[in-house]
């Protein structure tokens, strides 16, 4: 998930939206951005683990973000899709069976979200987190307006506490 | 914990600010940069990030910022952490787990002594190029 958000940042997106929806049967998420997008040809190449556009690391011969996602989807009875249009943006969707033993644990979402919010970028990242009965939303722009510098360690602790409280509330709602 | 709102968050920040001396991002006495490429995340970068935040709170360090960076080309020694503290050489630490992160806070940032057994002595070539050092 963090890798995909990073991809969107690198595609020079100004708006990124991560939606994560969890129920007892299914885990589903999507990352949608208004970045550079990919042509059909690049989309096909992007799912090859031995393809990288070579912009970030000139000598690197692997690009594992999307291949890992597809592999996880396949291993967990789920599906991952890429929709993209050059110049318009990209939408990546993923779903998996929640109880599947090969599904990597989500871990503590509060710290994952805190890290995504403080990644260096000029994009506004929105995170929508849903369960069956409740949801909450986070926006990087709102957090920045509220707190200021998102790399400040004190602010990071506050963000983590804040998201932790929203997570706790979500869990209570079931 | 009851559900917090953005207003609560603003209030918490103001409370904390009051308790602190005035400072801004440029005035920070240190910076911690954690490698968060695919390799860094896979090697446990997130746990290291959490450990830094937790230890800052425990030790009471408030003037250090935490940034994330991509792969530094040292995938074999991830998680890597670069630490810049006032009056100390800039150091890249390798194979940083949670305990090492806590040691970096206590020994390097607080105690001003390098955590010698985790120093990765030379930053990768692209970093040297990028910073011109």
Strands A124-130 and A15-22: parallel
**Beta-sheet strands, E only, within chain A:** 15-22, 26-33, 79-85, 89-97, 124-130, 135-139
Q: DSSP labels for B11-25?
A: HHHHHHHHHSPP--G
How close A26 gets to chain B, by Cα (Å)? 24
| CA separation for the pair B126, A43 (Å, rounded) | 28
Q: Domain of B57: which CATH number?
A: 3.40.30.10
**A172 CB-near residues (< 8 Å, 6+ apart):** none
For chain B, state the CA radius of gyration.
Answer: 16
The residue range of the domain holding B95 is: 26-131
Q: Does A108 touch chain B (CB under 8 A)?
A: yes
A50 torsion bin: left (phi>0), alpha (psi -120 to 50), beta (else): alpha
Chain B residues closer than 8 Å to A159 by CB:
9
| A-chain residues near B28 (CB < 8 A) | 152
Q: Is residue B57 part of a domain?
A: yes
Query: Once rounded to an integer, what is the mean pLDDT over residues A94-108?
Result: 90
Residues paired with residue A17 on neighbouring β-strands, in sequence order: A32, A126
**Alpha-helical segments (H) within B1-131:** 6-19, 38-42, 45-59, 98-103, 125-131
Whether the CB of A137 is below 8 Å from some CB of chain B: the reply is no
- Kindly indicate the confidence band of residue A85, based on its pLDDT and cuts at 50, 70 and 90: very high
Instruction: Please report where in the chains the tokens 């503290």 appear, as a residue.
Output: B85
- Residue B125's CB: how many other CB atoms inside 10 A? 9
Q: Which residue has the tokens 């589903």?
A: A28
* Tens digits of residue pLDDT in A19-48: 999 999 999 999 999 999 888 888 888 888
Distance of CA B98 to the CA centre of its chain: 12
Strands B91-93 and B81-85: antiparallel
Domains annotated for chain A, with CATH where assigned, are 2-173 (3.30.565)
Which of A16-20, A84-88, B36-40, B106-110 comes out lowest in average pLDDT?
A: B36-40
Is the Cβ–Cβ distance between A32 and A17 less than 8 Å? yes
CB atoms within 10 A of CB B123: 19
Best of B4, B27, B47, B56 to substitute, by most chain A Cβ atoms within 10 angstroms, is: B4
Residue B17 counted as domain residue: no
User: Reduced to 3 DSSP states, what percent helix, strand and coil does chain B have, rounded to the nearest 5?
Assistant: 45, 15, 35
**For the segment B49-94, what is each residue's pLDDT rounded down to a tens digit?**
999 999 999 998 888 999 998 888 888 999 999 999 888 888 999 9
* A150 part of contact set with chain B, CB < 8 Å: no
- For chain B, give the mean pLDDT: 83
Amino acid A3: pLDDT: 84
pTM of the model: 0.80
Tell whether B16 is covered by a domain: no
Q: Is residue B7 part of a domain?
A: no
Q: Is B18 exposed, middle or buried (0-12, 13-18, 19+ CB in 10 A)?
A: exposed
**Total structural domains within chain B:** 1
Asked if B15 contacts A154 with a C-beta cutoff of 8 angstroms, the reply is no
Measured in angstroms, the CA of A74 and the nearest CA of chain B are apart by 20
- Supply the Cα-derived Rg of chain A in whole angstroms: 17
Residue B31, SS3 per DSSP: strand
- Segment A49-54 shows an average pLDDT of 77
């Amino acid at each position: 998930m963090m890798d995909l958000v990073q991809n969107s940042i690198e595609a020079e997106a100004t708006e990124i939206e991560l939606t994560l929806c969890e129920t007892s049967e299914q885990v589903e998420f999507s990352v949608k951005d208004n970045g550079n997008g990919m042509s059909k040809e690049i989309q096909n190449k992007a799912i090859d683990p031995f393809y990288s556009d070579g912009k970030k690391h000139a000598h690197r011969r692997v690009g594992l973000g999307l291949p890992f996602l597809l592999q996880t989807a396949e291993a967990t009875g789920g599906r991952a899709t890429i929709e993209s249009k050059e110049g318009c943006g990209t939408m990546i969707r993923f779903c998996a069976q929640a109880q599947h033993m090969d599904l990597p644990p989500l871990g503590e979402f509060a710290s994952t979200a805190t890290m995504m919010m403080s990644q260096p970028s000029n994009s506004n990242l929105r995170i929508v987190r849903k369960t069956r009965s409740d949801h909450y939303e986070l926006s990087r722009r709102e957090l920045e307006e509220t707190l200021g510098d998102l790399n400040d360690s004190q602010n990071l602790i506050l963000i983590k506490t804040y998201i932790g409280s929203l997570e706790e509330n979500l869990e209570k709602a079931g | 914990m009851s559900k917090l709102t953005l207003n609560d968050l603003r209030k918490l920040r103001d409370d904390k600010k009051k308790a602190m001396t005035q400072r801004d991002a440029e005035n920070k006495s240190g910076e911690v940069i954690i490698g968060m490429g695919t390799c860094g995340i896979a090697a446990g970068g997130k746990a290291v990030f959490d450990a830094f935040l937790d230890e800052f709170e425990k030790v009471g360090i408030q003037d250090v910022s935490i940034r994330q960076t991509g792969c530094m080309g040292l995938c074999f020694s991830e998680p890597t952490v670069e630490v810049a503290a006032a009056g100390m050489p800039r150091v890249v630490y390798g194979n940083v787990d949670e305990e090492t992160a806590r040691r970096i806070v206590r020994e390097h940032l607080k105690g001003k002594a390098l955590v010698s057994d985790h120093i990765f002595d030379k930053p990768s070539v692209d970093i040297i190029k990028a910073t011109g050092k």
